[in-house]
């Protein structure tokens, strides 16, 4: 018996240092501190440390500059109106599709899913081609048809930015509300109708209040996204010197050209942006935390559909026109421009050519590099996030170490931090500040930033799957003679494989179309697709930018369908 004891004693001693649980926990901490915390710390360091002491003069300096104040004002105005208008539009369509008897729902639902596939800056670019002051195709058409002396629309304005953001972000609210409506107990509405309440009254007093949690979480998404968005204001605002906080930060960073003062200015602005986002989050929570809503049942039910009667076809026509303009028009526009000989020429057969595609693919090293870089980055970021995120999910959900919530908070922090801020943090952290590691101007710094930004996507998808894997399934393997490692390999990972695959694509797809972080981090040899399109556009190669956009969208659609196929295939099995 003593022999047994000694042997086990040794085993236990060994476990103290090499337990798989501990190893994974430590790895997660190390990874998150490196990828998330160091960049955040560096921003604070630069904003508050003037080289010898703590100092807040930089904030005073930043906040007294007219341009910066204007940018803050623009950011807030754009975010406020975008959120308000997009919410109304989103709720309207959610109700129309979720609760009314409008026809062609399938078609409309499909159209709603398209904006998610097109990068926002591409959509903005397309709208710019249609409605920019003098040159926009649609503007010119209207001017010639109605004999106007000036352009009827000017998209290069704060209002223009708001309109495009609304068009692009209302599906956030729409999606949330539709799924809430689908889970809502229809008897609540029915009983009100039976009690004699009119249709509008029921909508106002019952349906809307009951969907408030969904509306509010959709609003929150819009608010954060709008505050931190770079692509749309950059595409539409730069030409008229209209800046928002994110575009201003990038501008400051570019102007700084590596000077300490300039970087500190950008860091201070980053902190101001974070503060604005935090205030928005807080205010939004304050607004919606009143009252509790206990009406959503888990089960999906077939709700009673409200008859639109005479309003049916007018509403249908209106909706279809809206969706066509908002969703289809930008794609068609980009497609047409990509085939035209020169920007501004009418779309007539003698003006059409394939030359733009030839130019970007043959002999344009920047473009071919960007395709390669984006594929490499999206693939590696997807893979690393897959491994790290799943490990993190396992630690948080199964091992539950003491600081588990800290781990989780670290992982989701970049989700609410604007991409611009994250990028600046990475730049400051990996230009030799730690261990002499300099990744600046290489593709690796973009990879690190992507990992930080998208890690939480895999964490969420793997966590949800892991919560379905009951403890006893793993314990059964242990009692059958499998070690902890073998249990992971034989039971846990196979069970969450579908979620891991979809987690990979949840990272892969946004990386393919990323602009916000890469525009700050790219170097001469590490341009991404987003950067390449942006630069082609800014430098006036508009038709080539359009061609590359078409290529990008095609790539994204192919990958997206691949995901659906892979996941759907697994489900069927």
Partner 1 sequence: MNKVELRGITVHYGEHAVLEDFSLTVKAGRIIGIVGPSGCGKTTIVRSICGFINPEKGEVLIDGKLVYSKTGRVNVPPELRRIGVVFQDYAVWPHLSTYDNVSYPLKKRKTPKTQIPELVEEVLEQVNMIGYEKYLPSQLSGGQQQRVAIARALTTSSDFLIMDEPITNLDAKLREQMLVEIRMLQEKLGTTIIYITHDQEAAMQLCDEIVILNDNGSIAQIGTDEEIIKKPANRFVFQFIGVSNFLPTCIKGGKCYLSLDEEILLDDNIPQDYPIGKTRALLGVRPMDIVFDDNSPIKAKIVQATFLGNIYTYFISLGKEEYRVQRIATGETDDDKYREDLTVGVKFVNVKYFDMEESV
Residue from 177, 491, 531, 545 binding partner 1 (CB under 8 A): 491
**Coil, strand or helix at 438:** strand
> Which residues within the stretch 299-338 sit at the binding site for partner 1 (CB under 8 A)?
none
Min dist CB 535 to partner 1, Å, is 48
Closer to partner 1 by Cβ: residue 16 or 290: 16
Furthest-apart CA atoms within the chain: distance in Å: 102
Closer to partner 1 by Cβ: residue 7 or 204: 7
Cα gap 385→457, rounded to integer Å: 8
Contact region with partner 1 (CB under 8 A), list: 74-82, 125-133, 159-167, 475-483: 475-483
Cα gap 337→344, rounded to integer Å: 9
Are the C-beta atoms of 447 and 526 separated by less than 8 Å? no
Closer to partner 1 by Cβ: residue 487 or 552: 487
Cα gap 560→554, rounded to integer Å: 10
Closer to partner 1 by Cβ: residue 17 or 471: 471
Are the C-beta atoms of 385 and 454 separated by less than 8 Å? yes
Please, what is the Cα angle at 171 between 169 and 172, to 5 degrees?
75
Cα torsion for 346, 350, 354, 357, to the nearest 10°? -30
Give the residues across from 340 on adjacent strands. 352
Residue from 49, 133, 484, 563 binding partner 1 (CB under 8 A): 484
Closer to partner 1 by Cβ: residue 263 or 496: 496
How many C-beta atoms lie closer than 10 Å to residue 236's C-beta?
Answer: 27
Contact region with partner 1 (CB under 8 A), list: 96-104, 150-158, 268-276, 469-477: 469-477
| CA dihedral sign, ordered 247, 248, 250, 254 | positive
Count of positions (residues) in the chain: 573
Min dist CB 507 to partner 1, Å, is 24
Min dist CB 404 to partner 1, Å, is 15
Contact region with partner 1 (CB under 8 A), list: 327-335, 356-364, 465-473, 549-557: 465-473
Closer to partner 1 by Cβ: residue 8 or 101: 8
Residue from 301, 383, 480, 558 binding partner 1 (CB under 8 A): 480
Residue from 324, 383, 476, 557 binding partner 1 (CB under 8 A): 476
How many C-beta atoms lie closer than 10 Å to residue 30's C-beta?
Answer: 10
> Which residues within the stretch 494-513 sit at the binding site for partner 1 (CB under 8 A)?
494-495
By CB under 8 A, residue 261 contacts partner 1: no
Residue from 479, 524, 571, 572 binding partner 1 (CB under 8 A): 479
Closer to partner 1 by Cβ: residue 7 or 285: 7
Please report where in the chains the tokens 């026509």 appear, as a residue: 317
Tokens of residue 254, six digits: 């570019």
Min dist CB 470 to partner 1, Å, is 6
Please, what is the Cα angle at 83 between 78 and 85, to 5 degrees?
95
By CB under 8 A, residue 490 contacts partner 1: yes
How many C-beta atoms lie closer than 10 Å to residue 201's C-beta?
Answer: 12
Residue from 486, 539, 558, 565 binding partner 1 (CB under 8 A): 486
Half-sphere exposure of 363 (CA within 13 A, CB side): 4
Tokens of residue 178, six digits: 């539709």
Closer to partner 1 by Cβ: residue 186 or 498: 498
Closer to partner 1 by Cβ: residue 367 or 500: 500
Residue from 84, 159, 482, 567 binding partner 1 (CB under 8 A): 482
Half-sphere exposure of 223 (CA within 13 A, CB side): 20
Residue from 187, 259, 483, 525 binding partner 1 (CB under 8 A): 483
Are the C-beta atoms of 130 and 139 separated by less than 8 Å? yes
Q: Which of 343, 344, 340 lies closest to 352 in space, CA to CA? A: 340
Strands of 282-388 (E only): list them: none
Min dist CB 490 to partner 1, Å, is 7
Tokens of residue 123, six digits: 């959509």
Site string for partner 1, 5-44 (x = CB under 8 A): x--xx-xxx-x-----------------------------
Min dist CB 495 to partner 1, Å, is 6
- Cβ contacts of 482 within 8 Å, gap of 6 or more: 490, 491
Closer to partner 1 by Cβ: residue 198 or 568: 568
Q: Which of 529, 518, 511 lies closest to 369 in space, CA to CA? A: 529
Contact region with partner 1 (CB under 8 A), list: 86-94, 227-235, 485-493, 554-562: 485-493
Min dist CB 402 to partner 1, Å, is 13
For residue 219, give the DSSP letter: H
Q: Which of 214, 303, 234 lies closest to 74 in space, CA to CA? A: 234
Contact region with partner 1 (CB under 8 A), list: 107-115, 304-312, 314-322, 486-494: 486-494
> Which residues within the stretch 382-441 sit at the binding site for partner 1 (CB under 8 A)?
none
Min dist CB 22 to partner 1, Å, is 14
Please, what is the Cα angle at 559 between 554 and 561, to 5 degrees?
95
Cα separations (Å) of 145 from 138, 139, 228, 337, 349? 10, 10, 39, 21, 21
By CB under 8 A, residue 485 contacts partner 1: no
Closer to partner 1 by Cβ: residue 412 or 501: 501
**Coil, strand or helix at 431:** strand
Which residues in 407-441 are b (16+ Cβ under 10 Å) and which e? bbebbbbbbebbbbbbbbbbbbbbbebeeeeebbe
Residues near partner 1 (CB under 8 A) are: 1, 4-5, 8-9, 11-13, 15, 470-473, 475-484, 486, 490-491, 494-495
């Amino acid at each position: 018996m003593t022999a047994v004891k000694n042997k086990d004693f040794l085993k236990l001693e060994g476990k103290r240092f090499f337990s798989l649980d501990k190893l994974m926990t430590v790895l997660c901490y190390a990874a998150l501190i490196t990828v998330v915390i160091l960049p955040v710390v560096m921003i604070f360091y630069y904003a508050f440390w003037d080289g010898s002491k703590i100092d807040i003069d930089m904030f005073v300096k930043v906040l007294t500059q007219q341009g910066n104040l204007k940018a803050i004002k623009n950011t807030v105005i754009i975010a406020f109106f975008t959120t308000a208008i997009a919410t109304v539009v989103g709720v309207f369509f959610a109700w129309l599709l979720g609760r009314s008897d409008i026809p062609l729902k399938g078609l409309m639902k499909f159209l709603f899913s398209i904006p998610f596939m097109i990068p926002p800056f591409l959509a903005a670019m397309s709208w710019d081609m249609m409605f920019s002051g003098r040159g926009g195709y649609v503007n010119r058409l209207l001017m010639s048809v109605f004999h106007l002396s000036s352009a009827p629309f000017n998209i290069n304005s704060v209002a223009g930015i708001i309109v495009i953001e609304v068009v692009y972000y209302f599906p956030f609210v729409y999606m949330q509300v539709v799924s809430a409506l689908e889970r809502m107990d229809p008897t609540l509405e029915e009983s009100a109708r039976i009690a004699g309440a009119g249709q509008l009254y029921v909508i106002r007093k019952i349906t809307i209040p009951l969907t408030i949690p969904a509306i509010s979480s959709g609003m929150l998404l819009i608010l954060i996204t709008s505050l931190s968005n770079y692509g749309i204001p950059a595409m539409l605002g730069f030409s008229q010197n209209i800046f928002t906080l994110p575009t201003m930060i990038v501008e400051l960073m570019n102007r700084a050209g590596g000077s300490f003062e300039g970087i500190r200015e950008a860091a201070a602005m980053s902190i101001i942006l974070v503060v604005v986002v935090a205030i928005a989050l807080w205010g939004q929570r304050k607004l919606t935390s009143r009252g509790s809503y206990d009406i959503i049942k888990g089960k999906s039910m077939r709700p009673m559909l409200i008859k639109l009667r005479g309003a049916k076809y007018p509403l249908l026509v209106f909706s279809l026109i809206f969706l066509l303009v908002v969703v289809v028009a930008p794609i068609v526009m980009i497609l047409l421009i990509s085939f035209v000989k020169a920007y501004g020429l009418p779309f007539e057969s003698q003006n059409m050519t394939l030359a733009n595609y030839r130019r970007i693919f043959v002999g344009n090293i920047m473009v071919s590099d960007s395709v390669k870089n984006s594929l490499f980055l999206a693939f590696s970021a997807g893979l690393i996030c897959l491994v790290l995120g799943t490990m993190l999910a396992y630690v948080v959900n199964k091992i539950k170490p003491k600081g588990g919530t800290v781990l989780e908070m670290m992982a989701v922090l970049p989700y609410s931090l604007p991409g611009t801020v994250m990028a600046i943090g990475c730049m400051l952290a990996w230009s030799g500040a730690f261990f002499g590691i300099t990744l600046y101007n290489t593709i690796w710094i973009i990879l690190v930033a992507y990992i930080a930004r998208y890690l939480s996507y895999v964490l969420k998808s793997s966590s949800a799957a892991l919560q379905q894997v009951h403890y006893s399934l793993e314990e059964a393997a242990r009692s059958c003679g499998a070690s902890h490692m073998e249990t992971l390999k034989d039971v846990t990972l196979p069970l969450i494989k579908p979620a891991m695959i979809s987690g990979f694509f949840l990272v892969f797809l946004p990386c393919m179309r990323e602009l916000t972080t890469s525009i700050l981090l790219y170097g001469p040899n590490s341009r991404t697709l987003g950067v390449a399109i942006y630069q082609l556009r800014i430098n006036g190669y508009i038709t080539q930018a359009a061609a590359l956009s078409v290529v990008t969208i095609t790539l994204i659609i192919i990958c997206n369908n691949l995901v659906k196929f892979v996941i759907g295939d697994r489900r069927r099995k």
